[in-house]
Homo-oligomer: A and B are copies of this chain.
Amino acid sequence: MPRQVDHDARREEVATIAADLIAERGLEQVSLRDVAAAAGYSTTIVTHYFASKRELLRHAYRSAVHRTEQRVAAIAPDSPDRLLALCEAVLPLDDERRRSWQTWFAFFGAAISDPDLAAMQRRYVHAHRRALAAAIAADHSAVAPAGPGPAGETARALLATVHGVAAEAVFDPEDWPPDRQLQVVRNAITALRE
């Protein structure tokens, strides 16, 4: 009997390798052939999973989002610092998270002219904003009642700050060491509590 191939696992594996290659070189410099070579598969196998570069980019984006979701899932639901931890899950505080942002920036460059990719990005933002809003509503320091607006609006502003810090930090890691990223986000969280 032929050996059973787990296609979903293999597709995910190739998408992860593609995400890292795109993060490193930029979208234009990565071909399906490059991904195949890096993964150790033939180009035929890779094109079996991803019909086009656009399809590959979509999965590479999902792969980076998936790693973020795993970091979020690892946060204890009753952690007293859940709000900060949710922000940390997205910030480029180490190589892995910086790589995720580099994949996303390659994706953003394509998403400006691709409604489907832009819709994926909107869904990700809304989901993470909802997670922040839930954490604000459940916060032990009672952010929401004392804060300047409903949890949704507060979460919107906090996530925008996190995304702005991240967007600047990706291109300027020296100017944005982890401590400084965290300081700006901690200040934003403290401001919600006042």
Q: Could you list which residues of chain A lie within 8 angstroms of chain B, going by C-beta atoms?
A: 23-29, 102, 105-114, 118, 121-122, 125-126, 148-149, 156-157, 159-168, 170-172, 175, 184, 187-188, 191, 194
B165–A184 CB distance below 8 A = no
A26–B109 CB distance below 8 A = yes
Assess A113 versus B29: contact at CB under 8 Å? Given A164-B160, A187-B148: yes
Kindly list chain B residues whose C-beta atoms are within 8 Å of the C-beta of A102.
112
Kindly list chain B residues whose C-beta atoms are within 8 Å of the C-beta of A187.
148-149, 157
Kindly list chain B residues whose C-beta atoms are within 8 Å of the C-beta of A163.
163-164, 167-168
B164–A184 CB distance below 8 A = no
Residue in B closest to A113 when the chains form the complex, CB atoms: B26
Q: Min CB distance, A51 to chain B, in Å? A: 17
